[in-house]
């Protein structure tokens, strides 16, 4: 990320509503600034979609006003999953798409991210141009050139049909019972229909958004109720999406969690010949995933945490599949961003083709015991300059041997140092992670 940025982070602009720049005034200015930049690049409307949090109404209106003031036409999509907005941006030949969402965060947070006309994240240089415009006074175009806005009422149906088109036409899901948890978020009116129209027996959870309950004890970050529902209903699988629908966590037929690493493995194993030789994960991906991918005769490449960095490697190396443990799965030969619904469809398609249960499919990957301790810090610490810490890590790596891994990294979103250890022996992993965490705490105290 460019250190000169004032507003844009690795995934747009996000924060608590009413604080910092997450205000109606800033959003109107942001709409105007983005409109000014986009107007120089060509003609065409800008799409605005949102998740279900209550502040989305406020920010939708503010962005609409700003874009109109810049002379840009607007198409309002209403509640739509992030990947649906990416798809429609490209499908309708729009100039750009704007997503109003804070993903898996609680309702009192919100944010904005942009898609370019091809449905991918807006390039860094365009984001920088928008930031430059933000420093200028807002000056509307002449009234005859103001942008017009209208609702795109068929947006959900277009995206539903797109999702359905990505599963083999000869696949029948009528033998599957699935439970879908939509996190009271943007997929509440879409995900159940996709799976129902493909024949599945669908049981729903968290599909009644009220503006305040998005991600509240439900969805991809809180799948405990989904686990119970799968067990009690005898379902073949459970699907938990997050508030904006770009990540997925699943539950197998025994009620056990199937995380993003395991989902990535199952998809990779089913599509080996189509993956151009490699799969992309992150530095947090389980070591068991790396070993399982290599057993498929594929390379495993680790990116920094964040789907933005996975995408950079996929595009750079002409690869097609990558993902995070949290459930962001990117299939570039199907769509342009992480898509929870499409990832769930691929898993069900694999179950249908192989005749295996989800529990059996995930068994192909042996997860290594992984422990992480978060250490709160008061100020930024450059871990690379702490030689005594490097010595402790090296000694621990020697103790773990070939089948172990250690990761020390600062959090990108919180004042934390994350200490993560993986290995074959759970007790050894537990002992080493606690020892290293104590070492990190001591070093930080002595240097502060």
pTM, 2 dp: 0.92
Rounded-to-integer distance, Cα 360 and Cα 13, Å: 40
Spatial separation of the C-alpha atoms in residues 97 and 74, rounded to whole Å: 10
pLDDT-based confidence at 412, cuts 50/70/90? low
Catalytic residue among 68, 101, 103, 343: 103
d(C-alpha 335, C-alpha 348), whole Å: 18
Cα–Cα dist 2/122, whole Å: 14
C-alpha closest to that of 85 among 121, 54, 44: 121
Distances (CA, A) of 147 to 95, 106, 113: 13, 33, 21
Instruction: Compute the CA torsion angle 70, 75, 79, 81 (nearest 10 deg).
Output: -90
Cα separation, 143 vs 38, in Å, equals 19
Residue 311, Cβ density class (10 Å: 0-12 exposed, 13-18 middle, ≥19 buried): buried
Length of the chain: 448
For residue 259, what are the contacts with CB-CB under 8 A and spacing of at least 6? Answer: 249, 325, 326, 327
Q: Find the radius of gyration of the CA atoms of the chain.
A: 23
Residue with structure tokens 């600062």?
410
Cα 248 from chain centroid? 8
In percent, the amount of the chain with pLDDT more than 90 equals: 84
- Confidence class of residue 241 from pLDDT cuts 50, 70 and 90? very high
Q: Is the pLDDT at 22 greater than 90, yes or no?
A: yes
Q: How far is CA 57 from CA 50, 110, 126, 201, 423, in A?
A: 8, 11, 26, 33, 48
The CATH number assigned to the domain with range 158-362 reads 3.40.120.10
Residues 6+ apart with CB under 8 A from 331: 267, 320, 321, 339, 342, 343, 346
326: annotated active-site residue: no
Fold match between domain 158-362 and domain 370-447: no
Q: What is 13-153's CATH number, 3.40.120.10, 3.40.50.300, 3.90.550.10, 3.30.70.20? A: 3.40.120.10
CA distance 350 to 361: 9
Give Cβ neighbours of residue 319 (< 8 Å, ≥ 6 apart).
275, 276, 277, 278, 279, 280, 301, 313, 332
Whether the per-residue pLDDT at 1 is higher than 50: the answer is no
**For helices 340-354 and 260-270, what crossing angle results, to 10°?**
50
Give the pairing of strands 96-100 and 109-116.
antiparallel
What is the domain partition of the chain in residue ranges?
13-153, 158-362, 370-447
CA dihedral 161, 165, 169, 171 (to 10 degrees): -90
Terminal CA-to-CA distance of the chain, rounded, Å? 27
Average pLDDT over residues 260-276: 97
Of 80-89, 319-328, 388-397, minimum mean pLDDT range? 388-397
Residue pLDDT, tens place only, 115-143: 999 999 998 899 999 999 999 999 999 99
**What is the spatial distance between Cα 19 and Cα 41, in angstroms, rounded to a whole number?**
32
Give the pLDDT confidence of 223-237 residue by residue, as tens digits.
Answer: 999 999 999 999 999
Per-residue pLDDT of 429-448, as tens digits, reads 999 999 999 988 887 777 66
pLDDT at res. 442: 83
User: Quick one: pLDDT band at residue 375, thresholds 50, 70, 90?
Assistant: confident
CA-CA distance, 416 to 88, in Å (whole number)?
A: 37
- What is the full DSSP assignment across 82-132? HHHHHHHHHHTT-SEEEEE--TTS-TTEEEEEEEETTSSBPPHHHHHHHHH
CATH fold group of domain 370-447: TATA-Binding Protein (3.30.310)
Beta-carbon contacts of 232 under 8 Å, excluding residues fewer than 6 positions away, are none
For CA atoms 300, 301, 302, 308, the dihedral sign is negative
Residue 5 pLDDT: 80
């Amino acid at each position: 990320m460019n250190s000169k940025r004032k507003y844009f982070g690795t995934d747009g602009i996000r924060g608590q509503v009413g604080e910092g720049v997450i205000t109606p005034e800033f959003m109107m200015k942001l709409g105007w600034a983005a409109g000014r930049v986009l107007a120089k690049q060509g003609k065409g409307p800008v799409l605005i979609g949102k998740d279900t949090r209550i502040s989305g109404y406020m920010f939708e209106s503010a962005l609409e006003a700003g874009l109109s003031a810049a002379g840009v036409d607007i198409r309002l999509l209403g509640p739509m999953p992030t990947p649906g907005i990416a798809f429609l941006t490209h499908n309708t030949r729009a100039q750009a798409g704007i997503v109003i969402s804070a993903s898996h965060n609680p309702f009192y947070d919100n944010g904005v991210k942009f898609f370019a006309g091809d449905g991918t994240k807006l390039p860094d240089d365009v984001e920088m141009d928008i930031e430059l415009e933000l420093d200028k006074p807002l000056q509307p175009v002449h009234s005859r050139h103001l942008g017009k806005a209208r609702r795109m009422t068929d947006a959900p149906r277009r995206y539903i049909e797109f999702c359905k088109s990505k599963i083999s036409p000869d696949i029948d899901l009528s033998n599957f019972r699935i439970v879908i948890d939509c996190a009271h978020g943007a997929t509440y009116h879409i995900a159940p229909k996709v799976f129902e129209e493909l024949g599945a027996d669908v049981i729903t959870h968290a599909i009644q958004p009220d503006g305040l309950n998005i991600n509240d004890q439900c969805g991809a970050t809180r799948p405990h109720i989904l686990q119970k529902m799968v067990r009690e209903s005898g379902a073949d699988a459970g699907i938990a999406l997050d508030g904006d629908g770009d990540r997925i966590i699943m539950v197998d037929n025994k009620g056990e969690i199937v995380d993003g690493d395991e989902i990535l493995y199952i998809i990779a194993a089913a599509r080996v010949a189509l993956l151009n030789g490699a799969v992309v994960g992150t530095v947090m991906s389980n070591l068991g995933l790396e070993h399982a991918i290599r057993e498929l005769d594929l390379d495993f490449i680790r990116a920094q945490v964040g789907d933005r960095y996975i995408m950079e490697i996929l595009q750079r190396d002409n690869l097609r599949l990558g993902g995070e443990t949290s459930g962001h799965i990117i299939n570039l030969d199907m769509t342009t961003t992480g898509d929870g619904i499409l990832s769930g469809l691929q898993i069900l398609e694999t179950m249908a083709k192989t005749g295996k249960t989800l529990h059996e499919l995930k068994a192909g990957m042996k997860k290594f015991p992984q422990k992480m301790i978060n250490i709160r810090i008061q100020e930024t610490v450059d871990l690379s300059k702490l030689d005594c810490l490097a010595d402790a890590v090296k000694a621990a790596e020697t103790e773990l041997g070939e089948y172990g891994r250690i990761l020390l990294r600062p959090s990108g979103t919180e004042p934390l140092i994350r200490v993560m250890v993986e290995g074959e022996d759970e007790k050894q992993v537990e002992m080493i992670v606690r020892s290293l965490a104590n070492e990190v705490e001591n070093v930080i105290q002595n240097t502060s």
